[in-house]
Structure 1
Amino acid sequence: MQRLKTRSQFQAVLAGGTVARTAHFALHCAALNVPMVEQKQTEPSTAPPLALFVVQDVWMGAMVPKRWAKRAVTRNAIKRQIYGVSVDFESALPVAAHIVRLRSGFDRKQFVSATSEELKAAVRLELQQLFARAATRPSLPAIKNEAP
């Protein structure tokens, strides 16, 4: 499994669309058919554009905004759960780029500690449901190719 790293990779996958949702998470997915992205340079060059996804594999990214998880320790714990559960479902996921996005916060009254075992268990259970829904989905949205 490959990890998304660049802003352009994240933007391309988010343009692909949502394939599954739970109460707190959304899974975005896009096929790996984006041919190229232009390099940022100050001077014009004849260098070929770079490919967004150079390996035909399952790509995974995690977005946990500060808006929904205020503390860095909570954001990092949720990201670790996302990557951990995604490895379990790697064989069930299609060869494509995926992003798991936190779309609402967990109740701070119910989960007082930033990294409690109860919070980790709740996140893990919901992520398993999310990936199970995505694994049963038949088709992938294609990435919208936009002209520069």
Structure 2
Amino acid sequence: MQRLKTRSQFQAVLSGGTVARTAHFALHCAALDVSVVEQKTSEPSKAPPVALFVVRDVWMGAMVPKRWAKRAVTRNTIKRQIYSVCTEFESVLQVAAHVVRLRVGFDRKQFISATSDELKASVRLELQQLFARAAARSAAPVRQVSMP
């Protein structure tokens, strides 16, 4: 499994469409083969296009915005859970680029501690549901994306 690192990689995957959703998370997916982006330099004519995804593998990224998880320790905990669950489901995921996005915050009254075991268990259970839904839909083709 490869990890998404650049903004352009995340943008390409997010434009690919949503594959699965749960109460707190959304899984976005995009095919790898046509994702090419131009390098930004002062002279655009001299910059050759660069492939966003150089290895044909399962690519994974995690987006946990401050808007939904205020504390950095909570954001990091959720991201660790995302990557951990992704490795469990790596064999059933399509060879494509995926982004798991937190789309609603967890209730701070229910999960008082930023890294409580209850929060970790809840996040893990929901992520397993998310990836199970995506695996069930994996027979459907992934929408191709192209970058300008």
Q: Shorter-chain TM-score: what band?
A: over 0.9
Alignment of 1:51-66 (within 5 A): 51-66=51-66
Point out where structure 2 has 5 or more consecutive residues left out of the alignment. Answer: none
Runs of 4+ aligned structure 1 residues displaced above 3 Å come to 44-47
Using the TM superposition, give the Cα deviation of residue 145 of structure 1 relative to its aligned residue in structure 2, in angstroms.
1.9
Point out where structure 1 has 5 or more consecutive residues left out of the alignment. Answer: none
The answer on whether the counterparts of 1:13 and 1:99 sit within 8 Å (CA) in structure 2 is yes
Structure 2 SS opposite 1:60: strand
Mean Cα displacement is larger for which, 134-143 or 12-21?
134-143
C-alpha distance 26-35 of structure 1, shift in aligned 2 (>3 A): closer
Instruction: Decide which structure has greater strand share.
Output: 2
The equivalent residue for 1:37 is 37
Deviations 1:29-71 (A, max 9, x none): 0000224210100024444211000000000000000000000
- If the length of structure 1 is used for normalisation, what is the TM-score? 0.95
Is residue 141 from structure 1 mapped to residue 121 from structure 2 by the alignment? no
Is residue 70 from structure 1 mapped to residue 70 from structure 2 by the alignment? yes
- Give the letter aligned to residue 51 of structure 2: A
Is residue 128 from structure 1 mapped to residue 128 from structure 2 by the alignment? yes
Alignment of 1:1-148 (within 5 A): 1-137=1-137, 138-147=139-148
- Give the letter aligned to residue 145 of structure 1: S
- If the length of structure 2 is used for normalisation, what is the TM-score? 0.95
- Give the letter aligned to residue 140 of structure 2: S
